[in-house]
């Protein structure tokens, strides 16, 4: 009799956790660095594995990929899912408020105001706690002061857009009180114009224009000068006396903010040329900015406590990818933390590839008063672009365009 063969065993299935890991690896690998395809793949992964232990991590990747792909609707959707897991995350609150505001419709702006208010309330609660610097006029404001100043500035903008000028005024005054800045002064001037209080507008614009240090980019400085001149002309019929006002305001601010701008024996203390600075990498080795004379230098000033800085760092990685074959474009992430102890671990966690250096007074020289701040220097060492704060949906395109312009490349070059 012929031998009876046992039925073939079905191929064994790998354990569920192995299947999940393989599916996630396939989703990432097949996207081939295309953020839109990566979003689609990862959404498919979440449909297949809704209870994945990596769910929050995957949602975070979808969120940051949507930012890279300039897809605000998807970024808002997944940003709000992340916020449900981390309701007090300042970076998420700030970026969601910004994106919702930019969508333009009333319900979205109401939601933006809700998030901005949560951010202000969180900052105010921390501000009332003991143990931080209570004023931004000193040598270095701590993270709580900076967070409250920036959150109040952001919410004030939303109130101003909604026509609630008194509430906007209160927020701008609060921002300036905890950490004086030319941005807050300019916005107070704009509100004073809307209220037809031209004397106050001149006063605030003069403060913004005369603020010590290169605290506004050249284009914005020209705009403040135009507004100041227009208001002064209406009040006085000519600009006679305006120069005296600006000089007096500069002297007044220099005295009031002297502690913020004094060198305090720091490295590079006596230098006035940023390209003469020698900075320190996270491994302790020196980095001389003189090595980058004649190149396009992009500096991103950031801190570990700054939520929007975390997002901007990820987006900057996307910009850098576009210039990896362009040796004339150099990118540095300049950390301004008072203590560098947590910086290496933060960079490792974020998986940044951007070279990180410590500011060592460079932020003070360049008048960095809010975070994040990004600057682009041309081949002659002049600042040709400066941006305070994070414009989430336009950051990558704007910075790429500005760098290509500084390099002398056409806009078409960015589409290769």
Task: Indicate the pTM of the whole model.
Answer: 0.71
Neighbours of 291 (CB within 10 A): 12
Q: Which domain holds residue 401?
A: 274-415
Are both 189 and 298 inside the same structural domain?
A: no
What does residue 389 show for φ and ψ, rounded to 5 degrees? Answer: 80, 170
Indicate whether 115 belongs to any domain: no
Boundary residue ending a domain (231, 260, 289): 260
> Which residue has better confidence, 19 or 252?
252
Which of 34, 64, 87 corresponds to the end of one domain? 87
Pick from 162-176, 250-264, 294-308, 373-387: least confident: 250-264
| Residue 308 placed within a domain | yes
Q: How many CA atoms lie within 13 A of 228 on its CB side?
A: 23
Q: Are residues 409 and 285 in the same domain?
A: yes
The predicted-structure confidence for 56-79, as pLDDT tens digits, reads as follows 889 988 988 887 777 889 989 999
265 belongs to a structural domain: no
Please tell me the predicted confidence (pLDDT) of residue 376: 95
* pLDDT of 328 above 90: yes
Structural contact between residues 300 and 372, judged by C-beta atoms closer than 8 angstroms: yes
Q: How far does CA 147 lie from the centroid of its chain? A: 12
Question: What number is the average pLDDT over the span 258-276?
Answer: 71
Whether pLDDT at 309 is above 80? yes
pLDDT at residue 130, rounded to an integer: 74
Supply the pLDDT for residue 135: 55
Higher pLDDT: 246 or 95? It is: 246
pLDDT for residue 18: 82
Tell me, what's the pLDDT at 413? 43
Residue 7 lies inside a defined structural domain of this protein: no
Q: Residue 109: inside a domain, yes or no?
A: no
Residues 280 and 303 both lie in one domain: yes
Mean residue pLDDT across the chain: 86
228 in the same domain as 327: no
pLDDT in tens, 382-401: 888 988 888 777 888 899 99
Structure tokens at 187: 């916005």
| 71, 89, 222, 399 from 207: Cα distances, Å | 38, 33, 14, 29
Same domain as 178, residue 127: yes
Let me know if 223 is exposed, middle or buried by CB neighbors in 10 A (0-12, 13-18, 19+). Answer: middle
247 within a domain of the structure (yes/no): yes
> Which domain CATH number covers 234?
1.25.40.10
> Do 241 and 314 sit in the same domain of this protein?
no
- Given a cut of 50, whether residue 412 has pLDDT beyond it is no
pLDDT bin (cut points 50, 70, 90) of residue 414 is very low
Residues 163 and 237 in one domain: yes
Is the pLDDT at 167 greater than 50, yes or no?
yes
140 pLDDT band (50/70/90 cuts)?
very low
Report the alpha-carbon distance of residue 197 to residue 190 in Å, rounded. 10
Q: Give which of 242, 214, 211 is closest to 226, Cα–Cα.
A: 242
Domain identity same for 353 and 386 = yes
**What pLDDT band is residue 346 in, cutting at 50, 70 and 90?**
confident
Residue 116, in any domain of the structure: no
**Paired sense of beta strands 329-335 and 356-358, if any:** parallel
pLDDT in tens, 10-21: 666 778 788 888
Q: What dihedral do alpha carbons 291, 292, 294, 296 form, nearest 10°?
A: 170
State whether residue 240 is helix, strand or coil: coil
| Domain final position from 71, 87, 103 | 87
Exposed, middle or buried: residue 99 (CB in 10 Å: 0-12, 13-18, 19+)?
Answer: buried
Half-sphere exposure of 84 (CA within 13 A, CB side): 8
Claim to verify: residue 292 and residue 241 sit in the same structural domain: no
What pLDDT, on a 0 to 100 scale, did the predictor assign at position 6?
58
Give the integer Cα–Cα distance in Å for 8 and 384.
72
In this prediction, residue 370 has a pLDDT band, given cuts at 50, 70 and 90, of confident
Is residue 215 scored above 60 in pLDDT? no
CATH of the domain at 293: 3.40.30.10
- Is the distance from CB of 292 to CB of 366 less than 8 angstroms? no
Helical packing angle, 143-161 and 182-194, nearest 10°: 20
In a domain, 383, yes or no: yes
Same domain membership, residue 280 and residue 189: no
Dihedrals phi, psi of 53, to nearest 5 degrees: -70, -15
| Backbone phi and psi for residue 386, each to the nearest 5 degrees, phi listed first | -145, 130
Q: What percent of the chain has pLDDT over 90?
A: 46
Residues 214 and 157 in one domain: yes
């Amino acid at each position: 009799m012929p031998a009876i063969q046992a039925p073939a065993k079905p191929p064994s299935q790998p354990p569920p956790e192995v299947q999940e890991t393989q599916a996630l690896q396939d989703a990432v690998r097949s996207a081939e660095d295309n953020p839109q395809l990566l979003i689609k793949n990862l959404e498919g992964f979440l449909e297949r594995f809704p209870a994945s232990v990596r769910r929050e991590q995957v949602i975070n990747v979808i969120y940051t990929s949507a930012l890279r792909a300039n897809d605000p609707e998807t970024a808002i959707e997944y940003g709000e899912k992340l916020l449900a897991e981390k309701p007090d995350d300042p970076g998420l609150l700030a970026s969601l408020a910004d994106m919702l505001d930019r969508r333009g419709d009333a319900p979205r702006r109401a939601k933006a105001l809700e998030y901005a208010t949560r951010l202000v309330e969180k900052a105010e609660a921390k501000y009332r706690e003991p143990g931080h610097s209570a004023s931004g006029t000193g040598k270095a404001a701590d993270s709580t002061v900076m967070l409250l100043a920036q959150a109040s500035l952001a919410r004030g903008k939303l109130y101003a857009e909604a026509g609630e000028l008194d509430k906007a005024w209160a927020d701008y005054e609060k921002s300036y009180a905890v950490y004086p800045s030319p941005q807050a002064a300019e916005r107070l001037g704009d509100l004073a114009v809307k209220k037809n209080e031209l004397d106050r507008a001149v006063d605030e614009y003069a403060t913004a224009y005369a603020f010590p240090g290169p605290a506004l980019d050249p284009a914005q400085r020209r705009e403040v000068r135009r507004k100041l001149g227009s208001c002064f002309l209406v009040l006085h019929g000519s600009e006679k006396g305006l120069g005296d006002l600006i000089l007096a305001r500069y002297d007044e601010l220099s005295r009031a903010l002297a502690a913020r701008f004094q060198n305090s024996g720091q490295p590079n203390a006596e230098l006035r040329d940023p390209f003469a600075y020698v900075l320190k990498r996270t491994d302790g080795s020196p980095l001389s900015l003189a090595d980058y004379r004649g190149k396009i230098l992009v500096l991103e000033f950031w801190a570990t406590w700054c939520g929007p800085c975390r997002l901007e760092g990820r987006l900057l990685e996307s910009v850098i990818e576009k210039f990896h074959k362009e040796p004339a474009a150099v990118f540095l992430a300049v950390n301004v933390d008072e203590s560098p102890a947590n910086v290496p671990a933060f960079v490792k966690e974020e998986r940044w590839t951007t070279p990180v250096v410590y500011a060592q007074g460079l932020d003070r020289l360049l008048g960095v008063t809010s975070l994040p701040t990004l600057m682009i220097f041309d081949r002659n060492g002049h600042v040709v672009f400066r941006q305070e704060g994070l414009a989430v949906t336009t950051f990558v395109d704007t910075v790429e365009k500005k760098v290509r312009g500084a390099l002398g490349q056409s806009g078409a070059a960015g589409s290769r």
